[in-house]
Amino acid sequence: MKIQFYKYQGTGNDFVMIDNRTAKFDTSNTALINTLCDRRFGIGADGLILLENHPTHDFKMVYFNADGNESTMCGNGGRCLVAFAKDLGVISGSCVFEAIDGLHHANITNDNVELKMLDVDAVEDHDTHMFLDTGSPHHVQFVKKDLKTFNVKDVGRSIRYGAPYFDEGTNVNFVEHVNDNTFNVRTYERGVEDETLSCGTGVTAVALAMHYKGYTNNFAVNLNVMGGQLQVSFAKSDNIYTDIWLIGPAKQVFKGEILC
C-alpha cells in the first residue's frame, strides 16, 4: 500500500500531513501511525495529522501523537494544518476548522499562521508550578539552572508520570525569564515521550501563566523555543483569558509516497 504524505514543521515541531478527504486512511491502525512517525523506520515526525471534510466549516483536524494514539489539541499542528489546507487549495487566507477541543479560527499573514485558541478560565497556582489546559494539559515551572543545559527529558518524564498526573499524564514546560515580554521555553511532550523543539499549546500555557503570576504585564508575549520564536497574544476579562492567538511560521518541508 502506498500512502501520499506531506511533511510540515512549525518552529521545529514537525508533522506528517495526510489529505484524508476521501476517508480512506485507517485511523484505527495505531501501529501504522506510530511507524509513519518513526524517525528510523518511517517518515519521522512528532505527530500525524489528517485533514478531513467538515459538513459546515472549512475542514476537520484529526491529530495523533507519535505513539499512534489520537490526542488532544496541538497548536503548532493546527497552524501547520492551516498552511497545508491553503497549499491544497481548500482555503485561501482565513478559515474556521474543527479540532478535538472545538472550533478554531485562523489567518495566514505572509509566512505566519495565526491560530485562535479556546478561552482559558482556570490557572492552578501551586507552590512549585502552575497548571492549565490550553487544549492540552500543561505543567509550567521555572528552572533554577541554565535552561540550555537543563535535563528536560529526564525531569520532564518524572513529572509527566508522577503525582497528580500519573497515566493520563501532562505536558511539562520549563521556563526562563528573559525580559518583560520574552521567555525561553523547553517542553517535554506526552505521546512523543521526549523533548520537542516547540509546543504551541505549551507556549500558550506559558504566556498565560506568566501573565497570571505577574512576570509580564504585556498582552503579547514572545516565546523562544528550541526551533525558533512564537508569539502569543491575548486579552483578560473577569479572570478569563480570551482572544488568545498563537502566531508563528508553518512551512512545508517535503512530500512523497511511502510503502506500508
Residues annotated catalytic, as ranges: 74, 199
First to last CA, the chain: 5
Residues 6+ away with beta carbon under 8 Å from 8: 14, 15, 17, 80, 81, 83, 84, 250, 251, 252, 253
Report how far residue 152's alpha carbon sits from residue 144's, in angstroms, rounded to the nearest whole number: 13
* 44 and 258 Cβ atoms separated by less than 8 Å: no
Report how far residue 170's alpha carbon sits from residue 157's, in angstroms, rounded to the nearest whole number: 10
What string of DSSP letters covers 48-106? EEEEE--SSSSEEEEEEETTS-B-S--HHHHHHHHHHHHHHTS-SSEEEEEETTEEEEE
**1: enclosing H helix or E strand:** none
Report how far residue 235's alpha carbon sits from residue 169's, in angstroms, rounded to the nearest whole number: 29
